[in-house]
Structure 1
Amino acid sequence: MSWLRALKETARSGLTIERRRLEPLIAIRGAVGLALVIGVGLAFFGPVVAASSAFGAFQAAIATFQRSWRPRPVLALVSGASLAVSTFLGYLTGSHTPLFLALLVLWTFLAGLAWAAGPTGGIIASSNVAIMLVTVTLPSSVANSAVHAAMILFGGVVQAALIVLFPVRRWGAQRDALADALAAEADYARRLRHDPLSAFDPVPLMKARSAAAVTPWQARRRPPELRGSRGVAERIRPVLASLADPAMGVPAEGPERDRVRELLAAAGSVLDSAARAIRHGDPVKLSPSAVAVLRTPDTGSLLAGPPRRAADRLGALLSDVIETAEGAGTKEEDAEAEEAAEAIKATGEEAPGSPHRRRPTLLRLVPVVVRAMRAELRPGSPILRHAVRVAVVVAVGYLIGVSLPFGHGYWAPMAAVMAMRPEFTQTYGRSVARFGGTIVGVTLATAIVRTAHPGVTPSAVFAVLCALLMYLLMRTGYVVGQACVSAYVVFLLGMAGEAWSQTVHERVVLTLVGGLLAMISYAAYPAWETPRLRGRLGDWLKADGRYAAAVVDQYAEPAERGHDDVRSALLDTREARVAWQEALATAQHEPVRNRGLSRAAADDTQHALAQLGRVAMLLEAHLPCGGATPVPAAGRLAEALRRATERGAKEVRERRVPDWAEVREALDAWDARQRTGEGGTDPFVRNGAGLLLEALEEFSRGLDGTSKPARPGDRAD
């Protein structure tokens, strides 16, 4: 993509306004907290302290809107406390420009590294730097600085207290994540009726898994209906695919296929009912027709073999879904909980089968975050490049701002630090949106101030109204939020007094300077995703190979194998797949020439790897029990898959085409043993092993540019 086209695309994305579901009660609660803090500040300390405390309450409320599974009061407290520390240190050094500049560079660099801990941490840290640039101009002494910092912390405490006292839809984010996962399974079941090879996006299941991790405090208060349903949904997915796939034994047409379609439709209806019940906390209301289909006794007379096993397993899992959605634990879940309790007693650690995923407390999270940030201190790290970029840009922006004759030069570095992200599209899109929103917000707010000359109280009211609009509309588009934020800052500083006022022209020019610095910095010191695509593809190939090998290995010695390695490999391949898809989507908007992986090769190889994962998932749906007959040849194939895909991933990174001779030899040896009658065999597993090799060969053909045209109906999961 050319630079001109990339700039057009990013500008369009930054100025896009979307229709999103509004949350007025949460917005009103945040605005009320802000109004309380401003009122207390005005009543006891005056408008200047009220302005700085308002920034703390404003930022604390914004932190609670971030996509995080931690309790919202905790986010508000963390935001208020971190902003208080940042601003107090800025207050102490603000009168000494060299010292303050050194602190600013260090603080901004650490804020850039904070993206290693996730978007929520990165956004809060970046916001702290931006607000610190404004608030350090307010106090006049160390004592006043301490008062200002204390009032900023007070703003976070007030917002946290309001969340506790006036909760809005408790566990709403976790409910939505779990309901979305069940709804995705329901949609998958319905699509399988018409397309037995339909694809499934695992992202909803990944989000539900992330949402299921809770702290000990959360675990004691989590609603019963949020316990267990995710695990059942994870087990339903391969069963649905196995039931629908013609390769598992059900013909493409006929009475067997009709029965499968009925079961899939009933499964979709039950899963949708469970999703609605969990989302709203209501009892499960099942469709009578779906219940009738699941209770029809003719499944056994129509289906046999793997389809019959899949149908029976589906009925049991749907029953578990209903029980958990109603808040009653399943027998399987209770057994896992008992086993986990015994394991914890024996080892003192959390077992893999624990009744809930553990999320570290804030104190235990600190070393985790520090390790994540230290891991990014390496050449080529996109996070490190972002930290260097934003630190340099903020320092340069601050020097330019103070050297211009406008005064209050913090608008330039503030605009830069709020716009910059580790990724190209977001940085450029947000820079354009920041400039456009600033023009609208500053123009309207300054016009009101210049025309009406509002006093302290009217300015405070206008600031609260702007914050309310920000909280209400922030998810509709960055440009809308920035218009509200710019107006909020104008009114708040106007409340503090005329000494902090500026003209529209001055604020717009400084914002433009900050945005241009952000955009130039990425062009001069980029972190393009395009050159790393082959590495992402190799990671996905390696993870897919480990997953397929772990599944096939289960058939070699069923009595001696547990399923923990299969689960771990499945999670790894999901992470690798999503990382590849996100990298590919990012690379498509970068102004970088292709570097060894064409768009056609990317499409063909990801189709092949998705097919490889899909075949492994079908085999996983029929994993043998402990007393099943061993298949020794499966063990040798599993080892060949591990070695070949690890070697293949290295060859992909080195711009070579992998060869799968070792896997073919393992299959040939399997067939030779089968002809001589040596060892156990299983036609179902052997058929799946052949499909795994076909997917690997298709991957090599796609990478080499010799992939065969896709056949009608071909899909990848």
Structure 2
Amino acid sequence: MDVMRPVMPEIGAVARSSAAVLAVALLALLLDSGTAAVCAVGAGVVCSGVALQDSPGGRVQLVLLVTLQLTGAVLLGSLTSAHTALFLAVAALWSFGAGMQWALGRHAGLIAAAATALLIVTPPTPPTARTVAVAVLATLAAGVAQAVLIAIWPPRRWRTQRAALAWAYRSLASDARRLAEDRDAPLDPAQLTWLRDTFADTQAGRRPAAYQGGHRLPERLMAAMVALRDTGADRDLVAKLLTDAAVALDAIAESKHTARHVAEHALVRVDATAAALSGEQGEAAQRFSRQLQQAAELRFPNLLQPEIIGPLRRAVTEVRGHLQRNSPILRHAVRLAVCVVLAIAGDRFAPIMHGHWIALTVLLVLRPETAHTYTRCIGRVGGLAGGIVAASLLMLVWQPTGWPAAVVAVLLFGVAHWAFRFGYLADSAALGAAVVFLLEIDPATAGATLEDRLFSVVIGGGLAVVAHVTLPDDLLTRLHQRAGELLKTEIDYAAIVIKAYVHEFDRPTDAMSAAWQRAFRARAAFEAASGAARASRELRRWLRTYRAALNAVTTACTSLERSLPAQPPAGLPVEFVTAVDDYIEALQGAPPTPAQPWTVDVAALTAAEQKLREQAATLPSESAAARVLVAEVATITRNLVEIATTREPISAR
């Protein structure tokens, strides 16, 4: 589905970032050998990718944190690369830490892998104060330059949505102050429905998290304020809560650098006041407080609630939670550390020319995946080899080194931005070609032949596959991951069928058939994983419940597909169509992470289903197709809630 593919960042932003990367690289070439330039280009490209991610806030801080990580990798590599035994120990520890960072998400894992690559490609030359300082400063300058650029020229793709949300939050702040002063002040929850029009012409699959269903949160805040007014709670406490909430809402709407701290302190006061209320008033106040915190978290991604805690402490806690033997993240970290150490040892001790490509291949292809592990691993190796072949053929007629190689490498990394939307094969090919020219910047890593590179890539790919075979994921963990994958594909199928009832789109039959095929393949993989796991009584009970609920979801979807009218019914109220769209968005949820399989957001799903039933009650009696839809949606919701609330077994014994 095209709407699910990532979009290309703005051309102007990519051009500015690329120019900054080249400027720092050329300065490094003037001051030192190509090693510092390689570090500058690598760090600049990674920080550029972080800065250009769609996010409403926190980019500058995130880029600076990533810069520090990349600088630390370069510093360690420069100091230890000449001493093989020490370098192996440092590489093992760093690779293990990089693997554990997948617990924080896919982006964090890929950034950690890039930092490890900078450490690995450091040439084994004796360090001097000058060479180490220039490499570290070039890396630091490349990252800081990206932070400065993103602070001066923030992305403008979602400027319309940002402006609309800012206006809505300012309006809510004004309403909160009026309500604090006058308990009987009129509030109309429908006054924010215009936000839907602002978000209607954007594709939900391409929005960052802060803009997916962004119109709903202000509407919920308005409804929560109305509910709080109608509870008859203590006037003084409610007035204090609403006054502090108005301060927080104004801060959320602002773009000043002090807005984050103002929002943090206001939210702490709101939460304390809400805790002082009890009964029905307390529930309404706490619901309002949670929604305020959610709005602040979306605006300031590193804002923690309700305490003011540094994001690094949360990251450490998250990683520490995966230091147990059944965690797929821990097993990936061990696999990565072992493979990197073996790859470096092969480069240093075996007669392999330019053997650093072995470790680079491991970093580029090894992932903490349980689904399609070997297929994707081999596919990435093939894509990487294809990119290397293309770059090597170009180098037969032109062999750039120094600054020409830096220019080509930066251009190819820009191509990788674009190729990412076509899948992991195209992305691997673009990255492979870019890394070829990146290494040609420095004479110490340049000069590899096509045979040298392909030989090392094959060895690295083999290491990655063997690592998965010898240290596979825990069988029960693998089963849970497969169950999450199956659940997600079934829900994607349901979402397409439900959408076809109220929206007309191109080739709905083909879309439903493709979604069903994905669900069928996921079911086969799930059954294979369940057959491999040792079936305890608890596991058999959970499998029966899971299969029964999922079969009921499938039956409801096929019934909907059989009853699907040739065209969406004409004259459906806008409110009903909106309720269906809200249900679809709540149904699809967020993508899974390497550390956590896909799950159902029960609260959001049941609330959306309740809203859909309320809107269906207002339909005329001749709306038979819509009533069939509502009945089957109720079945889907009931069984998905059963799946989500049934505890998975934690042991196969």
Same fold (TM over 0.5): yes
Superimposed CA distance per residue, residues 83-113 of structure 1 (whole angstroms, 9 cap, x where no aligned partner): 1111201211111111111111111111111
CA contact (8 A) 1:420 1:518 kept: yes
CA contact (8 A) 2:362 2:460 kept: yes
Alignment of 1:121-200 (within 5 A): 121-137=108-124, 140-169=127-156
1:40 pairs with 2:27:
yes
Quote how far apart the aligned CAs of 1:502 are.
0.5
CA contact (8 A) 1:67 1:120 kept: no
CA contact (8 A) 1:440 1:483 kept: yes
Quote how far apart the aligned CAs of 1:271 are.
8.1
- State the match for 2:328 in structure 1: 382
- State the match for 1:307 in structure 2: none
- State the match for 1:276 in structure 2: 200
CA distance in 1, matches of 2:102, 2:526: 23
Please, which moves more after superposition, 51-60 or 271-280?
271-280
1:405 counterpart SS class: coil
Alignment of 1:61-140 (within 5 A): 61-64=48-51, 71-137=58-124, 140=127
CA separation of 1:74/1:360 partners in 2, compared to 1, >3 Å: closer, same or farther? closer
Letter in 2 for 1:425: A
- State the match for 1:500 in structure 2: 446
Letter in 1 for 2:332: H
Quote how far apart the aligned CAs of 1:517 are.
0.9
CA distance in 1, matches of 2:39, 2:480: 48
CA separation of 1:338/1:486 partners in 2, compared to 1, >3 Å: closer, same or farther? same
1:605 pairs with 2:549:
yes
CA distance in 2, matches of 1:584, 1:228: 46
CA distance in 2, matches of 1:52, 1:222: 40
Letter in 1 for 2:200: R
- State the match for 1:593 in structure 2: 531
Alignment of 1:537-548 (within 5 A): none
CA contact (8 A) 1:425 1:590 kept: no
Quote how far apart the aligned CAs of 1:273 are.
2.5
CA distance in 1, matches of 2:543, 2:435: 45
Letter in 2 for 1:113: M
Superimposed CA distance per residue, residues 522-549 of structure 1 (whole angstroms, 9 cap, x where no aligned partner): 11111156666479989xx9xxxxxxxx
CA distance in 2, matches of 1:654, 1:148: 49
2:37 counterpart SS class: helix
Quote how far apart the aligned CAs of 1:397 are.
1.7
Tell me how large the CA RMSD over aligned residues is: 4.9
CA distance in 1, matches of 2:225, 2:40: 48
2:458 aligns with one of 506, 512, 518:
512
CA separation of 1:70/1:524 partners in 2, compared to 1, >3 Å: closer, same or farther? farther
CA distance in 2, matches of 1:603, 1:77: 47
Quote how far apart the aligned CAs of 1:392 are.
1.0
1:224 pairs with 2:211:
no
CA distance in 2, matches of 1:651, 1:404: 47
Count of aligned residue pairs for this structure pair: 458
CA contact (8 A) 2:123 2:445 kept: no
CA distance in 2, matches of 1:96, 1:367: 33
CA distance in 1, matches of 2:473, 2:113: 19
- State the match for 2:242 in structure 1: 338
CA separation of 1:32/1:599 partners in 2, compared to 1, >3 Å: closer, same or farther? farther
2:403 aligns with one of 446, 451, 457:
457
1:434 pairs with 2:372:
no
CA contact (8 A) 1:92 1:142 kept: no
CA contact (8 A) 2:82 2:124 kept: no
CA separation of 1:404/1:439 partners in 2, compared to 1, >3 Å: closer, same or farther? same
CA distance in 2, matches of 1:535, 1:464: 37
Alignment of 1:225-240 (within 5 A): 225=168
CA contact (8 A) 1:416 1:514 kept: yes
2:353 counterpart SS class: coil
Letter in 1 for 2:21: L
1:22 pairs with 2:8:
yes
Superimposed CA distance per residue, residues 466-520 of structure 1 (whole angstroms, 9 cap, x where no aligned partner): 1221222223222222222222222233232376220111111111111111111
Please, which moves more after superposition, 453-462 or 501-510?
453-462
Alignment of 1:702-717 (within 5 A): none
Quote how far apart the aligned CAs of 1:593 are.
3.3
CA separation of 1:408/1:138 partners in 2, compared to 1, >3 Å: closer, same or farther? farther
The percent identity for this pair of structures is 26
- State the match for 1:308 in structure 2: none
CA distance in 1, matches of 2:419, 2:608: 41
CA separation of 1:101/1:361 partners in 2, compared to 1, >3 Å: closer, same or farther? farther
Quote how far apart the aligned CAs of 1:347 are.
6.6
Letter in 1 for 2:352: F
Quote how far apart the aligned CAs of 1:607 are.
5.5
CA contact (8 A) 2:24 2:142 kept: yes
CA separation of 1:371/1:450 partners in 2, compared to 1, >3 Å: closer, same or farther? same
Quote how far apart the aligned CAs of 1:34 are.
1.8
Alignment of 1:221-620 (within 5 A): 223-225=166-168, 273-276=197-200, 330=222, 332-333=224-225, 338=242, 341=245, 344-345=268-269, 353-354=288-289, 355=292, 356-358=295-297, 359-360=301-302, 364-425=310-371, 427-497=373-443, 500-528=446-474, 533=479, 587-588=525-526, 593-595=531-533, 596=535, 602-606=546-550
Letter in 2 for 1:488: A
Letter in 2 for 1:512: V
Superimposed CA distance per residue, residues 554-574 of structure 1 (whole angstroms, 9 cap, x where no aligned partner): xxxxxxxxxxxxxxxxxxxxx
TM score, norm. by length of structure 2 = 0.59
Please, which moves more after superposition, 504-513 or 29-38?
29-38
CA contact (8 A) 1:537 1:652 kept: no
Please, which moves more after superposition, 499-508 or 346-355?
346-355
Please, which moves more after superposition, 438-447 or 154-163?
438-447
Quote how far apart the aligned CAs of 1:461 are.
2.3
Quote how far apart the aligned CAs of 1:367 are.
1.4
Quote how far apart the aligned CAs of 1:620 are.
9.1
1:393 counterpart SS class: helix
Quote how far apart the aligned CAs of 1:438 are.
2.6
2:85 counterpart SS class: helix
Larger radius of gyration: 1
1:527 counterpart SS class: coil
- State the match for 1:187 in structure 2: none
Alignment of 1:653-668 (within 5 A): none
Quote how far apart the aligned CAs of 1:76 are.
2.4
- State the match for 1:262 in structure 2: none
Superimposed CA distance per residue, residues 635-669 of structure 1 (whole angstroms, 9 cap, x where no aligned partner): xxxxxxxxxx99x956977899xxxxxxxxxxxxx
1:425 counterpart SS class: coil
Letter in 2 for 1:22: M
CA distance in 1, matches of 2:407, 2:482: 51
- State the match for 2:38 in structure 1: 51
